[in-house]
């Protein structure tokens, strides 16, 4: 779970690396580092914490003329976030950066230590550079040594290595962690995703698992286990500008405001007057399918959970949802009349990707709902529905959740059409509600201001319960996750009807209950649950279109006729509440502590 950038060519290398790492900082920001090799000179800088520390440290360093350079931003997996554990890791005359986990690193380390190698860090990565130098010293063949090294590695990796042994080359390998090569004539770039090289490279090749090789004299020499391999490039996307902050204080805030607009894009060409059309899906995907299983993590899991109500209610198809990290190890019973759906904003979440590979091995057809085209999950799936949310930079996911949920809602209708489980009138109602969604997502000044003002009353206490029923239970889970991610306050999402079976024991005036009380779905049931909490003196913030006398605080929503419109409107309220509480607490909203945007380790 780290970001990698590499460059080989004549341009100033430090700025290319630092700018690239800036774009990847969402992948991890425990520490960052760069290494540059120019002829016989090897330079290396590292700093703990955010990239700005590395910028400061390299202020007086410039690297003109031909050379090879690699950089890394880290999210710690093995070893604490210290400078010694920061990448690039150093041998005697080489440097390596790595994203992923070398699972057999302890065995390798033992072997190297027995040969007298001293380790400076606690990382799995450092074994790579020592292994390389051992093989190189024995063979005097840099690429041969790299190839031998790669063959010894087990686990997931994207690796770049530079060495005085061949100062005009960058060695690379990819297996299970993302990496691409960007081209602009003889200038060659590497990165963990498109963003750092947009505006620099023109063409791109997305490395496949098992690819390795080296770049030298403007040429890529590519191999896999069958030997030399050809590759073809494709044009690089150009929409980096969309990832700027546009005057908002935080990317998360910008992304909350963007939801209304991007939802239009999610629906474009898909929501028609008389039904849903997905050009990406063919009817065969669904032939013989009697059940759906969805696997995802975090926010994507919440979206999955919400959709399970829609699949069963609208499409009349059984739908089970599982947390990917649990699914992977439970020896699940899978039958090939099940469509296996994965949901992932990044498309790189290791647990979700592995769950998908398991399902494929069991012979299931697979569909991914993803925001990043060409990501590992997309490439692994039989079919994909892109969410079209645009780059999401805030670690706390907002517009990705909204667009995932919309795609899943559309999919439930699409399947209902295939299975003839929906009446024409009901279909029209759903389509009509969909088309109103962008309006339900608009953030008005009045709403934001109100949430800003009341957020000051929610900075203490001994915890938050977000409660809701039916579709609003997954939304409660998501509201609680948003709050805890960026405020560091304890919050739980709970089914409102379940509070009386235990958690109500916690109720007192310092227990903050955020009650999701939609008018169009089980209003009276939720109301009684909230009344039970109010009777025990819990502090209630009610979110509902219907005024509620027992609330200590109340946010009145506008929509009251369709559960999904209420869902999206309340989602925005919970996102803004988390945002405002986090800002008041002085936290870094976009880069909350201990988290990374893309979790590419198990
Ligand atoms: C969302 O706010 C979280 N940061 C996190 O739970 C995230 O949703 C999860 O790691 C899954 O990521 P993915 O959607 O990229 O697979």
Q: Which atom of ligand 1 is nearest to the CA of 404?
A: 14
* One domain, residues 449 and 402: no
Residues 33, 588: Cα–Cα separation, whole Å: 22
Q: Which range marks the domain in which residue 475 is found?
A: 445-584
Specify the pLDDT at position 292.
98
**pLDDT band at 58; cut points 50, 70, 90:** very high
Q: What is the pLDDT of residues 420-452, one digit of tens each?
A: 999 999 999 999 999 999 999 999 999 999 999
Asked whether residue 601 is domain-assigned, the answer is: no
pLDDT at 52 over 50: yes
Q: Which atom of ligand 1 is nearest to the CA of 482?
A: 2
Asked whether residue 339 is domain-assigned, the answer is: yes
* One domain, residues 451 and 327: no
* One domain, residues 509 and 580: yes
* One domain, residues 470 and 575: yes
Nearest residue by C-alpha to atom 6 in ligand 1: 298
Nearest residue by C-alpha to atom 5 in ligand 1: 298
Confirm if 118 and 126 have CB atoms less than 8 A apart. Answer: no
**Is 295 one of the catalytic residues?**
no
**pLDDT band at 64; cut points 50, 70, 90:** confident
**pLDDT band at 129; cut points 50, 70, 90:** very high
* One domain, residues 461 and 405: no
Asked whether residue 595 is domain-assigned, the answer is: no
- How many domains does the chain divide into? 3
346 in contact with ligand 1, CB cutoff 6 A: yes
Q: What is the pLDDT of residues 373-415, one digit of tens each?
A: 778 999 999 999 999 888 888 999 999 999 999 999 999 999 9
398 in contact with ligand 1, CB cutoff 6 A: no
**Which CATH number characterizes residue 215's domain?**
3.60.20.10
Q: Which of the listed residues 75, 252, 298, 404 should we mutate to test ligand 1's pocket, taking the one with most ligand atoms within 8 A of CB?
A: 298
* Cα 420 to averaged position of ligand 1 atoms, centre (Å): 34
**Is 2 one of the catalytic residues?**
yes
349 in contact with ligand 1, CB cutoff 6 A: yes
Asked whether residue 83 is domain-assigned, the answer is: yes
Average pLDDT of 2-22? 94
Q: Mean pLDDT of all residues in the chain?
A: 93
The residue from 395, 415, 438 where one domain ends is 438
Q: Which residue has the tokens 């590519």?
A: 222
Asked whether residue 589 is domain-assigned, the answer is: no
* One domain, residues 229 and 311: no
* One domain, residues 503 and 461: yes
6: nearest Cα among 280, 291, 165, 213: 213
Asked whether residue 593 is domain-assigned, the answer is: no
Give the predicted TM-score (pTM) of the model: 0.76
The residue from 413, 438, 463 where one domain ends is 438
Confirm if 601 and 476 have CB atoms less than 8 A apart. Answer: no
Specify the pLDDT at position 77.
65
Residue 152 main-chain phi, psi, to 5 deg: -85, -10
Q: What is the pLDDT of residues 243-265, one digit of tens each?
A: 456 678 899 999 999 999 889 88
Confirm if 223 and 143 have CB atoms less than 8 A apart. Answer: no
Residues 416, 37: Cα–Cα separation, whole Å: 59
* One domain, residues 188 and 330: no
Q: What is the pLDDT of residues 274-293, one digit of tens each?
A: 999 998 898 788 889 999 99
Average pLDDT of 35-64? 91
Asked whether residue 220 is domain-assigned, the answer is: yes
Q: What percent of the chain has pLDDT over 90?
A: 78
Specify the pLDDT at position 236.
87
* One domain, residues 331 and 390: yes
* One domain, residues 183 and 315: no
Q: Which atom of ligand 1 is nearest to the CA of 297?
A: 11
**Which CATH number characterizes residue 458's domain?**
3.40.50.10490
Asked whether residue 590 is domain-assigned, the answer is: no
The residue from 220, 244, 268 where one domain ends is 244
Residues 152, 556: Cα–Cα separation, whole Å: 60
pLDDT at 154 over 80: yes
Specify the pLDDT at position 28.
67
Residues 584, 454: Cα–Cα separation, whole Å: 11
* One domain, residues 25 and 101: yes
* One domain, residues 239 and 310: no
575 in contact with ligand 1, CB cutoff 6 A: no
Average pLDDT of 313-342? 95
**Token pair of 460 as six digits:** 């203490």
Nearest residue by C-alpha to atom 7 in ligand 1: 298
Average pLDDT of 96-100? 93
Q: What is the pLDDT of residues 186-243, one digit of tens each?
A: 899 999 988 899 989 999 999 999 999 999 999 999 999 999 999 999 998 776 655 4
Specify the pLDDT at position 243.
43
Residues 306, 570: Cα–Cα separation, whole Å: 14
470 in contact with ligand 1, CB cutoff 6 A: no
pLDDT at 483 over 50: yes
| Active-site residue, from 200, 216, 393, 597 | 597
Residues 6, 192: Cα–Cα separation, whole Å: 9
298 in contact with ligand 1, CB cutoff 6 A: yes
């Amino acid at each position: 779970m780290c970001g990698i950038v590499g460059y080989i060519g004549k341009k100033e290398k430090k700025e290319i690396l630092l700018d690239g790492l800036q774009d990847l900082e969402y992948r991890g920001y425990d520490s960052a580092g760069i290494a540059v090799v120019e002829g016989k000179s090897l330079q290396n800088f590292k700093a703990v914490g955010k990239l700005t520390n590395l910028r400061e440290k390299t202020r007086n360093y410039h690297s003109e003329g031909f050379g090879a350079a690699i950089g890394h931003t880290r999210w710690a997996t093995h070893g604490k976030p210290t400078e010694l554990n920061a990448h690039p890791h150093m041998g005697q005359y080489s440097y390596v950066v790595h994203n992923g986990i070398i699972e057999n690193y302890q065995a390798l380390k033992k072997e190297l230590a027995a040969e007298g190698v001293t380790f400076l860090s606690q990382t799995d990565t450092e074994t790579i550079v020592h292994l390389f130098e051992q093989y190189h010293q024995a063979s005097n063949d840099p690429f041969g040594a790299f190839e031998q090294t790669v063959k010894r590695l087990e686990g997931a990796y994207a690796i770049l290595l530079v060495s005085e042994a061949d100062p005009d080359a960058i060695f690379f390998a990819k297996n299970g962690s993302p990496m691409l090569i960007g081209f602009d004539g003889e200038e060659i770039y590497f990165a963990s995703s498109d963003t750092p090289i947009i505006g620099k490279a023109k063409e791109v090749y997305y490395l496949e698992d098992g690819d390795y090789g080296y770049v030298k004299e403007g040429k890529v020499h590519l191999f896999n286990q069958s030997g030399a391999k050809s590759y073809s490039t494709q044009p690089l996307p150009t929409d980096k500008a969309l990832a700027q902050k546009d005057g908002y204080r935080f990317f998360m805030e910008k992304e909350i405001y963007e939801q209304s607009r991007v939802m239009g894009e999610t629906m474009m060409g898909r929501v028609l007057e008389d039904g849903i059309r997905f050009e990406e899906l063919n009817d065969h995907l669904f032939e013989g399918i009697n059940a759906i299983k969805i696997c995802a993590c975090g926010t994507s899991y919440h979206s999955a959970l919400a959709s399970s109500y829609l699949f069963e209610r609208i499409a009349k198809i059984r739908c089970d949802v599982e947390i990917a990290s649990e699914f992977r190890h439970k020896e699940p019973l899978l039958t090939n009349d099940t469509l296996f759906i994965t949901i992932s904003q990044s498309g790189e979440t290791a647990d979700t990707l592995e769950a998908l590979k398991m399902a494929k091995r069991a012979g299931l057809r697979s569909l991914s709902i993803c925001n990043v085209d060409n990501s590992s999950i997309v490439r692994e799936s039989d079919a994909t529905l892109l969410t079209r949310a645009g780059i999401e930079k805030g670690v706390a996911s907002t517009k990705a959740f909204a667009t995932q949920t919309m795609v899943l809602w559309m999919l439930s209708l699409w399947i209902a059409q295939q299975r003839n489980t929906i009446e024409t009138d009901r279909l029209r109602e759903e389509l009509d509600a969909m088309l109103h969604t962008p309006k339900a997502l608009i953030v008005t000044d009045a709403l934001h201001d109100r949430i800003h003002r009341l957020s000051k009353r929610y900075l203490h206490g001994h915890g938050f319960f977000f409660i809701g029923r039916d579709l609003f239970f997954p939304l409660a889970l998501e509201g609680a996750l948003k709050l805890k991610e960026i405020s560091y306050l304890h919050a739980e999402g709970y089914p409102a009807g379940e509070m009386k079976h235990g958690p109500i024991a916690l109720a007192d005036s310092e227990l903050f209950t955020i009650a999701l009380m939609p008018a169009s779905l089980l209003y009276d049931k939720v109301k009684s649950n909230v009344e039970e909490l109010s009777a025990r003196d819990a502090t209630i913030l009610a979110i509902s279109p219907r005024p509620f006398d027992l609330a200590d605080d109340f946010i009145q929503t506008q929509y009251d006729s369709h559960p999904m419109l209420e869902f999206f409107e309340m989602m925005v309220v919970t996102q803004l509440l988390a945002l405002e509480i986090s800002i008041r607490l002085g936290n870094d909203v976009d880069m909350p502590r201990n988290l990374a945007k893309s979790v590419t380790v198990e």
